Structure 1
Amino acid sequence: MASPSTTEEHPSLSPSYAIGSSKSTATSHTSSSIFNLHPSNRYFQDQYGRSLLLHGANVSGLSKLPVEPCGFTHLSEGFFEHETVDFVGRPWPLEETDEHLSRLQQWGLTFVRLVIPWESLEHAGPGQYDEAYISYLHELIGMMPKYGITCYIDPHQDVWSRHTGGSGAPTWTLELVGFDIYNLKATGAAHAHNLHLEPHDPPPKVWPSGYTKLAAATMATVFWAGDTFARKRRVARSLHQGEWGKQGKKGEQVGLQEFLQRSMCEAFGTLADRLKDCEAVVGFEVMNEPHRGYVDLLSPYGFDFNTDLAIGYFPTAVQSWALGSGHAVVIDHYGPSFPVTAVTHSVLLSPPSGRTAWKKDSSCIWKEHGLWGWDAKKGELGEPVSLRNEYFKRDPETGKEVEWYKDFYWPFCQAFGERIGKGNPRWNTMVGPIPNEFCPPWPVDCRPRNFVYAPHWYDLQALFSKALGTMSANVQGLSRGMFLPLGLYFGRRGLKKNYALQFRNIIEAGYRSIGEIPIIIGETGVPFDLNGGEAFRTGDFHWQERQMDAVCSALEDNLVGYNLWNYNPLNNDEWGDSWNAENFSWFSLSDITPEKLAAAEKEGGADARRNVGGRVLDAVERPYACKTAGIPLSTSYSYNAPSRRFTLRYINPFPPSGFEPRLDQSQARCDSPPVVGEMPRARETEVYLPRRTFGKKALEKVGGTLRVRLEKKDGEWRYDEERQTLYILHSDLSPGFIHSVDVSIQRPFSLPSLGKDGNQFALGVLLIFFALGWALYGETVMEELGRRVPPLMEGGWI
C-alpha cells in the first residue's frame, strides 16, 4: 500500500509509559494499520513502523460452490442450473458470523483470504451482477473489525470453472467460446466430479489433470492470449450488459480475450466499489493459481510434467482437440508412482456418435485456426495430426516468440490492479505464479499497484497419495532432477527440514526476482484424510499434527506470513470439504460430539466451547510475533517439547546514511533481511501467546510457570491473558542492537513412573551419567551457561 504522509508515534516512546497500557491486541489489525511503508521492505508495517507477521486462514473452500442448488461435487442434482445459482450464505450464514470470527480470533488467525469465485458475482450473464451476494459480502466483511480481522479478496478458480471440474468462472464464459457444457464429459473435454459418481468412474482426485483437458486449457488460452492465438473468434461487445458493454460503439466486435478479461475486471471492480468503505479489506488477489493453457505449449503431442500433473486419463493437446470433435482416440492413463506419475495402460476413448464438445452453431476453435487435422490412414482408426507444432510459442502474425508471464499475465495483473484501485488506491494487489513454478524476474514497470507476492505450496507427495509416514520426499527438487537419495528425509526433524528447504526456495526466488517486497504464502495446508482416513476411526491425528507443525515451522523459519487452507464450517469426515474429495479443514463438524461438548461445558468458558471441532490445535494455535518494534531475524516454536518454547530475535535497524553498499539482490536470503531503515516509532513488541497453552488454567494443569527471558536485561514484559498478548518493552534503542526473547513453560522435574525399583534404577543411571559428564565437560558447560543464559527479567500478568 502507499505510505501515509506521516508515521504515528506509539505511546511506548514516552518514558512514563506503562507496558501493555495501550490495550492493543497482538493479532488485531485494521486496513489503516497494514501498509507497505517502504517499497524496499519485505515486511508489512503498521502505522508505527513495526514489522508485521500475518497469520490467517482461507475462508473457505466451501465458497467455491453455490448454496442453491447445492453445489457439493458429490451431488449431481442441479449441476446444470448455472444461471440462477445462489451463493448467499457462503462461507456461512450471517447469523453464524460471530461464532466463526471469534474462533479464528481465538486461534490467532486474523488475516483472512476470502474466497470469492467470479461465478458468484456474475453467474446470470455478462454484466449482470448478483447484488444480493455483494450486499451479503459487504455485511460479512463489515463485522470483521470487531474481531481485529482483516482480509483480502481471492478471485478463486481451479481448472477454470465448476463445469470443467473445478471452480471459478461463470458457465456463460464456456458458452461464449462455443462449448456445449452437456457434452464435455462424453468427449473427454473435462472431468467434473458431479458427473463421475459411479464406482467405475475415475476418482475425484484426478481433478488437477483437468487443466490440460480441452475445455479448461482452451478457456485459459483465450482468456490470456485470445487476441494472439484465436484472432478469428470475435463477439459483440454489446453482449455485456454492464457499463463497459454500453460504452461500446454500435455493432462493435471484440476478441475473446478482451471480452473475458474486461468482464472479470468489471465484476470484481464492481465488488471493490461496494467494499471501498470496509475497514477490514487490505487488498485483492488477481487470480488463484493461474494456468497458461496452451501458451508456451511444449508440444501438441506432450505436456511439461514439471507443471502439469499427469494423472488418470491424460490426452495430449492434439488428442483433446480430436476427442472434442467426436473422434475416437487411444490415450494413455497415468497412475501414482515415485517420484513422478507413470503410464499404467492405454485406453480407447470414443465419444458417442454425433456428440462433440462444441455447440451446434460452433466448431473446434483450434481446427478453425488450422492447428490440426485428422489422418484416417494412420493406425487402425485414424489419428489426429498437428499441422502447426510451434503455434503457441510464437505470435502467428509477427513470428515473435511469446512468453506467458511477460506478454499476457503481467499486463492483466496491471489492468486488474488499476480497476480494483478505483475502489481504494491503497489496497494491495496479491499475485502468485503458476503453481510449482518459481517467480520469474519481474520488472518494476510491469508490476501491478502495491504489489504483494503470494505463492502457494503443498507437499505434493502427501497431497496426492494421501499418505504420510516416517519418510518424506522433496518433490520440488526431484521434479527438477535432484539425485534421489538427496531428496529423501526421515523422521519429524527430516520433515521439517524438507519443508523449510522447499519454502525457502520459493521465497528466496521471489526476493531475488522482485526485490524486497512483502511475501505471503496464500495457500498451504494438510490433508486430514491421510493414511486411509485412519484418524477418523481412531481419533488420533498425530500424523496430521506432525505435518501441520512441519508446515508452520517451515514458514516461521523463513519469516513469512501465511493463509492456511482452509477453515470450512461444514467439513465432515464423510465428504471432507465437499469439493473434489478434498479434506483440508482443521475444523470439522465430525469432531463436535456430545462427549466433547459436555467436556467443554464442564471446563467452562467460551474458549473451550469454541475449540470443540478444532483438530491439531497444538500445531495450528502457535505463538508468533505479530508486531515487532524492529526487523525480525528469527523465530521458532517447539510445540511438541514439554517447555513449549518460543523464541524471537529482532534487530534495531541501522539508520540510512546514503552510503550503504548496493545489495546484491541475486543473493537475497530469508534469514538475512536488510537491516538498514527507519527506526520504528515504538518500543513495544506484541506477541500472540495463546492462553490455551500459556494461560493460568493451562499452566495449573501441568504444574508449570510462564518463563520469559530477555537477553542483556533488555526491558520488561507483561502477559495479558485476556488479549492473548505478550508485551515486550525493550530498553536498548541503539542501532544494530539485537533483542532476544525466550518464552517457555518451566515445569517441575519428575522421573517417569517406573515403579519404586524402576525409579531407583533410573535415578542411579542418571547419577552415573551426570558424574561422568561433569568430570569431562563440567568446566566447559559452566562457561557456556555463563555466557549464554540471560537473566529472568521482571514481568507479570495483567
Structure 2
Amino acid sequence: MQLQPLTVRGASFRDSAGREALLRGVNLGGDCKLPYPYGGTNFPTDFSDHRTVSFIGRPFPLEEADDHLGRLRHWGFNVIRLLTTWEAVEHEGPGIYDEAYLDYFTEVCRKAGEYGLYVFVDFHEDAWSRMTGGSGAPGWVFEAVGLDFTKFHPAGLSHVMQLKYDYALGGRQDSYPQMTWGSNHRLSPSGIMWTLFFTGRLFTPDFLIDGINVQDFLQSYYIGAMKAVAVRVAKFANILGFDTLNEPVPGWIGKQISYRHLRPTAENPSNPRIGLALSPLDNLLAAQGIPVSVPRILRDPDTGAFSVGDEEIINPDGVSIWLPGKSCPFEAAGAYVIKDGSVAALDEDFFCKSEGRTVNAAEDAYAPLFDGVGTAIQAYNPEWAVFAELEPYSIYVGGPFPKKMPAHSVNASHWYDSSTLYTKSFNAERAYDFTTGQMLYGREAIKASYVKQMHDIAEISKTFGADGAPTLIGEFGIPFDLDGAAAYRAWQKGDRSSAPWQQHIEALTLTYEAFDELKLHGTLWNYTTSNRNALEVGDGWNQEDLSIYSVDQRENSDDPNSGGRAVEGFCRPFVRFAQGDLVRLSFAADRRVFEAEIEVNGDIEADSEIYLPHLHFGDRPVIETTGPSATVVYDSCAQCAVIRASTGRLQIRAQPETIL
C-alpha cells in the first residue's frame, strides 16, 4: 500500500490531497527497551556487557515482520509509535553507532510502510536507564559524569528488578513489587542525571566534559543518536516524525534543596510518587556515602490512596556512588557543603533560581530540548512532526509546555486510567478517580471522567501557536493481568471464549468511546511480540503486562486474531481519512452501529476511508449516507469503505447486514 505523507496543519494531520487523517495505532513494542534476545528483566544481569549488547530483533526478527505487521493492519491500526532507545543506537561509546542495528531499524520502518502503517519514532526511556531500573540511556553516560553504576544497588540507591528479584523462586515477590520501578525517579542516580541533562548549564556551569558543559555533552550525544536514525529513514513517506523523549523528568529544577514532597500542597499539587521521599539534599548526601533517614510514601493497593510510612535509613553502609577521583558537581557549584562531619545547605533555592531569576521546567528544561530535537530532525525533513512530551501527569498540576514550540509540534502526552493501572482491577460500575479523589458510580460517570481528563490534555494543544496543534495520546492502555491474572488462568484451563476478557474489553471500550467523542489520535500501549502469560515475564520489562498480544495465546497461524487479547475492545471502526473535515464519530459496540459526520470538500479529489472490521460488521456491512450525493464501495479484503461525495455535510451510518 502506497502511503501519502501526512503533515501537521493547525490542529489536524492532512495528506497532500487535503484530507483530514485520524491516526489510531499502537506502540511497538514494550520489549524494545531491552537488548535481544535475553535482555528482558526476566533474565538476571549485572549490566557488565552494556557496551556489547544488541537490540537487533526488537520489536521482532525481520523474518516475523510480515506476520506481526499484517496482524496490526488487520486490526485496523494505521500508525505505530516505534520504540528505540539511545542505548540501542549508541551503546558502545560516545559517537559509536551500532550500524547493524540502524540497518535493522530502517528495514522495520520500511516494512511498516508496506502495510499501510505510518510511523513516528520514539526514543524511549524510563527512570533514565536499565541500570537505574528502567530503560533508555547507555551505561557509558554514567562514567562520563563520574558515577559508578555498579555501586547504585549496594548503596540502596536503585530499585532494579534484575538485582532484587529471586529468579529461582519466580512469580510475584515482595522484594520487587509490581509498578515500583517508578520509585527510581526519587533516587540519587536518576535525579543527578536528569538535572545534569536538562539544566547542567544553569546549575553546574563549570562542570565540563571534553571541554563542554555537561548538559551540552549529554544532549548533543542524545540528539546525535536521533540524527543517526533520522538520516536513515528520511526517504520514507510513512515517517511522521520523532518523539522528543519518552516521559522526561526534569530533575530537581524548581525544588528547594531540603524539601521532601509528602503530600499535595498549594505550591506542589502533584501526588507524591511511591517510594522514598528524598529531598535533593538527601539524595546528594546519600550519593556521597552519607546515611540519611527519610520517610517512605505508600500507596493503598485497593484504592490507590497515598500515605506516609515510617522513616528508613538510606545507604547505611556509606557506599559512595561516585567514581574514584570524582566528586559531586552540585557541591562544587555551591549548593551545599560538607565540612568537619557536618552538612549545611548553602542555598535552599539553588535549584529554583539562576542568577536571581526564577527558573521553571517548561522554559529552562523542556524548551531547549524540544528546540534541539526540532532543529535536528527537520534538517532531514522540514515537514516532520515533533511529538512533544512532558513528565507524566504534570499537566494535571499546571506543568505547561513551553510558550514557543517547534514548527509542526504535536501534543503527544500520555493518559492512563490510574485506578485501573495501579490497582490492576476494573469495575465498570465503580471506580476511583485519581485526579479528583472521588468515587465514580456507573459506566457513564466513568466515561465522563475519561473524557474530562483527555479534554484537559487536548486543551493544552491550543497553546501551540496561533492555530493550535493535533493531540495524539502517545500512550494509553490497561494491564491485562487484572485481578491477579485471572484471565490467564482461565485460558490455561481451556476457556477460549471472550468471557475472561470482559473487564478488559469494557475498559478499552470506554477509553475508545472517549477518544471518539474528542476525535483524538492515539497509540495504544502496547504490542509486544515476546509477551507471555506469566506474571514474572509479561512484556519482558519489570513485570508489566499491557500487551494486546501474547505468544502464549497464539494457537492458529491462519487466524490473524490468534494471539490477540480483548480484541473486541480495541479493534473498532473509525474514519481513517475524511474528504474534508471530520465532524464527529461514534461506535455503539453493544448494537454494532457506527456513525460519522464529515464536512465534505468536493474539491478534494480523494475518498473518505472508513475502517469497518469484520469482527463487528461481518463481510457485508450495510452502509447508509445522507446529505450530499455519495458513492460507497466496501472492500471486504481491506475491511474498508471508500466514499466519494459532493460538497456538504455527509452523515454515515454502518451496521452488520445481519445480527452477528
How high is the TM-score relative to the length of structure 2? 0.91
Give the secondary-structure state (helix, strand or coil) at the position aligned to 1:547.
Answer: helix
Corresponding residue for residue 54 of structure 1: 23
Q: 2:191 is aligned with what amino acid? A: A
Give the secondary-structure state (helix, strand or coil) at the position aligned to 2:191.
Answer: helix
Q: 1:297 and 1:63, CA in 2 relative to 1: closer, same or farther beyond 3 A?
A: same
Q: 1:312 and 1:680, CA in 2 relative to 1: closer, same or farther beyond 3 A?
A: farther
Greater percentage in helix: 1
Q: 2:455 is aligned with what amino acid? A: R
Corresponding residue for residue 538 of structure 2: 576
* TM-fit CA distance, 1:29: 6.4
Equivalent of residue 633 in structure 1, options 583, 594, 598:
583
Q: 1:188 and 1:427, CA in 2 relative to 1: closer, same or farther beyond 3 A?
A: same
The question of 1:269 aligning with 2:223 is answered: no
CA distance in 1, matches of 2:510, 2:256: 35
Deviation readout 1:456-494 (Å, 9 max, x if unpaired): 111112212212223223222x2xxxxx5xx33223333
Q: Which moved more, 1:136-145 or 1:158-167?
A: 136-145
Give the secondary-structure state (helix, strand or coil) at the position aligned to 1:331.
Answer: strand
Give the secondary-structure state (helix, strand or coil) at the position aligned to 2:474.
Answer: strand
Give the secondary-structure state (helix, strand or coil) at the position aligned to 1:615.
Answer: coil
Q: 2:548 is aligned with what amino acid? A: W
List alignment gaps of at least 5 residues for structure 1. Answer: 1-27, 237-252, 479-483, 601-605, 654-678, 697-704, 750-798
Given that residues 156 and 288 in structure 1 are in contact (C-alpha distance below 8 angstroms), is that contact kept between their aligned partners in structure 2? yes
Equivalent of residue 574 in structure 2, options 605, 616, 624:
624
CA distance in 1, matches of 2:486, 2:615: 27
* TM-fit CA distance, 1:87: 0.7
Corresponding residue for residue 450 of structure 1: 408
Equivalent of residue 418 in structure 1, options 369, 375, 379:
375
Corresponding residue for residue 729 of structure 1: 644
Q: 1:564 and 1:344, CA in 2 relative to 1: closer, same or farther beyond 3 A?
A: same
CA distance in 1, matches of 2:586, 2:596: 7
The question of 1:743 aligning with 2:654 is answered: yes
Equivalent of residue 707 in structure 1, options 622, 627, 634:
622
Q: 1:310 is aligned with what amino acid? A: R
CA distance in 1, matches of 2:631, 2:432: 44
CA distance in 2, matches of 1:406, 1:307: 19
Q: 1:63 and 1:290, CA in 2 relative to 1: closer, same or farther beyond 3 A?
A: same
Give the secondary-structure state (helix, strand or coil) at the position aligned to 2:449.
Answer: helix
Q: Which moved more, 1:114-123 or 1:276-285?
A: 276-285
The question of 1:180 aligning with 2:137 is answered: no
Give the secondary-structure state (helix, strand or coil) at the position aligned to 2:102.
Answer: helix
Equivalent of residue 294 in structure 2, options 331, 335, 353:
331
Corresponding residue for residue 20 of structure 1: none
CA distance in 1, matches of 2:278, 2:181: 14
Give the secondary-structure state (helix, strand or coil) at the position aligned to 1:452.
Answer: strand
Q: Which moved more, 1:46-55 or 1:292-301?
A: 292-301
Q: 1:310 and 1:385, CA in 2 relative to 1: closer, same or farther beyond 3 A?
A: farther
CA distance in 2, matches of 1:549, 1:686: 22
Q: 1:324 and 1:680, CA in 2 relative to 1: closer, same or farther beyond 3 A?
A: farther
Give the secondary-structure state (helix, strand or coil) at the position aligned to 1:524.
Answer: coil
Given that residues 629 and 680 in structure 1 are in contact (C-alpha distance below 8 angstroms), is that contact kept between their aligned partners in structure 2? no
RMSD: 2.3
Say how many residue pairs are matched: 632
* TM-fit CA distance, 1:298: 4.8
Equivalent of residue 391 in structure 1, options 350, 360, 372:
350
CA distance in 2, matches of 1:436, 1:197: 29
The question of 1:320 aligning with 2:283 is answered: yes
Corresponding residue for residue 226 of structure 1: 200
CA distance in 2, matches of 1:327, 1:748: 70
Equivalent of residue 71 in structure 1, options 20, 24, 39:
39
CA distance in 2, matches of 1:339, 1:692: 35
Corresponding residue for residue 564 of structure 1: 524
Q: 1:423 is aligned with what amino acid? A: Y
Equivalent of residue 163 in structure 2, options 182, 195, 220:
195
* TM-fit CA distance, 1:60: 0.8
Q: 1:308 and 1:369, CA in 2 relative to 1: closer, same or farther beyond 3 A?
A: farther
Q: 1:273 is aligned with what amino acid? A: V
Q: 2:351 is aligned with what amino acid? A: F
* TM-fit CA distance, 1:286: 1.1
Give the secondary-structure state (helix, strand or coil) at the position aligned to 1:405.
Answer: helix
Q: 2:5 is aligned with what amino acid? A: S
Q: 2:298 is aligned with what amino acid? A: G
Give the secondary-structure state (helix, strand or coil) at the position aligned to 1:33.
Answer: coil
Q: 1:650 and 1:298, CA in 2 relative to 1: closer, same or farther beyond 3 A?
A: farther
CA distance in 2, matches of 1:745, 1:501: 32
How high is the TM-score relative to the length of structure 1? 0.76
Corresponding residue for residue 610 of structure 2: 687
CA distance in 1, matches of 2:271, 2:283: 15
Deviation readout 1:184-232 (Å, 9 max, x if unpaired): 1122322211111145524242111211211111111111110110123
Corresponding residue for residue 240 of structure 1: none
Corresponding residue for residue 496 of structure 2: none
Percent identical among aligned pairs is: 28
Give the secondary-structure state (helix, strand or coil) at the position aligned to 2:373.
Answer: helix
Given that residues 256 and 348 in structure 2 are in contact (C-alpha distance below 8 angstroms), is that contact kept between their aligned partners in structure 1? no
Equivalent of residue 464 in structure 1, options 422, 442, 452:
422
Q: 1:647 and 1:375, CA in 2 relative to 1: closer, same or farther beyond 3 A?
A: farther
Equivalent of residue 492 in structure 1, options 419, 443, 447:
443
* TM-fit CA distance, 1:713: 6.7
CA distance in 2, matches of 1:441, 1:620: 30
CA distance in 2, matches of 1:432, 1:316: 25
Q: 1:376 and 1:573, CA in 2 relative to 1: closer, same or farther beyond 3 A?
A: farther
Give the secondary-structure state (helix, strand or coil) at the position aligned to 2:447.
Answer: helix
CA distance in 2, matches of 1:200, 1:105: 40
Give the secondary-structure state (helix, strand or coil) at the position aligned to 1:719.
Answer: strand
Corresponding residue for residue 527 of structure 1: 479
Corresponding residue for residue 753 of structure 1: none
Q: 1:518 is aligned with what amino acid? A: P
The question of 1:369 aligning with 2:292 is answered: no
Equivalent of residue 217 in structure 1, options 174, 185, 191:
191
Give the secondary-structure state (helix, strand or coil) at the position aligned to 2:621.
Answer: strand
* TM-fit CA distance, 1:420: 1.5
List alignment gaps of at least 5 residues for structure 2. Answer: 167-172, 492-499
The question of 1:503 aligning with 2:418 is answered: no
Corresponding residue for residue 166 of structure 1: 134
* TM-fit CA distance, 1:376: 9.1
Q: 1:680 and 1:264, CA in 2 relative to 1: closer, same or farther beyond 3 A?
A: farther
The question of 1:592 aligning with 2:554 is answered: yes
* TM-fit CA distance, 1:551: 1.4
Given that residues 49 and 680 in structure 1 are in contact (C-alpha distance below 8 angstroms), is that contact kept between their aligned partners in structure 2? no
CA distance in 2, matches of 1:612, 1:554: 27
Given that residues 318 and 385 in structure 1 are in contact (C-alpha distance below 8 angstroms), is that contact kept between their aligned partners in structure 2? no
Given that residues 710 and 741 in structure 1 are in contact (C-alpha distance below 8 angstroms), is that contact kept between their aligned partners in structure 2? yes
Deviation readout 1:374-398 (Å, 9 max, x if unpaired): 6999xxxx8x653321111111xx2
The question of 1:280 aligning with 2:249 is answered: no
Corresponding residue for residue 215 of structure 2: 257
Give the secondary-structure state (helix, strand or coil) at the position aligned to 2:372.
Answer: helix
Given that residues 60 and 114 in structure 1 are in contact (C-alpha distance below 8 angstroms), is that contact kept between their aligned partners in structure 2? yes
Give the secondary-structure state (helix, strand or coil) at the position aligned to 2:641.
Answer: strand
Q: 2:476 is aligned with what amino acid? A: T
Given that residues 576 and 611 in structure 2 are in contact (C-alpha distance below 8 angstroms), is that contact kept between their aligned partners in structure 1? yes
Given that residues 414 and 476 in structure 2 are in contact (C-alpha distance below 8 angstroms), is that contact kept between their aligned partners in structure 1? yes
Q: 2:381 is aligned with what amino acid? A: N
Deviation readout 1:604-640 (Å, 9 max, x if unpaired): xx4xx2211001111111000001112112111122x
Given that residues 188 and 320 in structure 1 are in contact (C-alpha distance below 8 angstroms), is that contact kept between their aligned partners in structure 2? no
Q: 1:347 is aligned with what amino acid? A: E
Larger C-alpha radius of gyration, 1 or 2?
A: 1
Q: Which moved more, 1:276-285 or 1:740-749?
A: 740-749
* TM-fit CA distance, 1:437: 2.3
Q: Which moved more, 1:501-510 or 1:88-97?
A: 501-510
Corresponding residue for residue 92 of structure 1: 60
